[in-house]
Structure 1
Amino acid sequence: MKYINARTILPDELIRGLQQYIQGEYLYIPALCEQRKQWGEKTGYRNELKQRNSEIRTQYQTGSSMEVLAMQYCLSLSAIRKIIYEQ
């Protein structure tokens, strides 16, 4: 989340109204529910993890052991198990 100066986007009368409640501090204005993005949507990281997890499942199904996959992907055995058994 980046900082935006209110003067660059809000009308003066709205800024004066807000200053009655808060001055010189940060104010978080949440997005509307229908406009919220899920974790990782904006950066594409969610898709990267889906692809990695798919590769892990494929390698396991073709004979790689959980221990080898854990070392290869720098993950714990528990994390590998969760990835393999999730559907």
Structure 2
Amino acid sequence: MKYMNANHVLPEKLIVEIQKYVQGETLYIPKPETEYQKWGTSSGGRRMLDRRNETIRNSFISGSSIQQLAEEYYLSTETIKKIVYTHKK
């Protein structure tokens, strides 16, 4: 989150109206909910985890054990179970 001076981005009438409520303070203005992105969408982290999880599922289907996958991917056996027993939508 970066700081922006209201005098540079908002109309003077709006600043005067806002000053009735807040003066000289930092004010957070959230994005509309329609602009939210899920975690990892921008960075590609979500895509990377989805590919990893698909590889884990395929390895499990091909005969790898939960314990083997946990050791190979440095994850807990409970995490591996969640990955292999959850149906991807």
Could you say whether these structures have the same fold, taking a TM-score greater than 0.5 normalized by the shorter chain as the test? yes
Which moves more between the two structures, 76-85 or 23-32? 23-32
Deviations 1:11-51 (A, max 9, x none): 23322322222233332222223322223222222211111
- Displacement of 1:86 in angstroms is 0.7
- Displacement of 1:74 in angstroms is 1.7
The secondary structure found in structure 2 opposite 1:25 is coil
Q: Give the TM-score, by structure 2 length.
A: 0.77
- Displacement of 1:59 in angstroms is 1.4
- Displacement of 1:3 in angstroms is 1.7
- Displacement of 1:80 in angstroms is 0.3
Q: Which residue of 1 aligns with 2:2?
A: 3
Q: How many residues align?
A: 86
The secondary structure found in structure 2 opposite 1:29 is coil
- In 2, the alpha carbon distance for the partners of 1:24 and 1:52 equals 48
- In 1, the alpha carbon distance for the partners of 2:44 and 2:8 equals 29
Unaligned runs of 5+ in 2: none
Change (3 A) 1:35 1:8: same
Residues 1:16 and 2:16 aligned together: yes
Which moves more between the two structures, 10-19 or 60-69? 10-19
| Identity among equivalent pairs (%) | 41
Q: Which residue of 1 aligns with 2:84?
A: 84
Amino acid across the alignment from 1:61: I
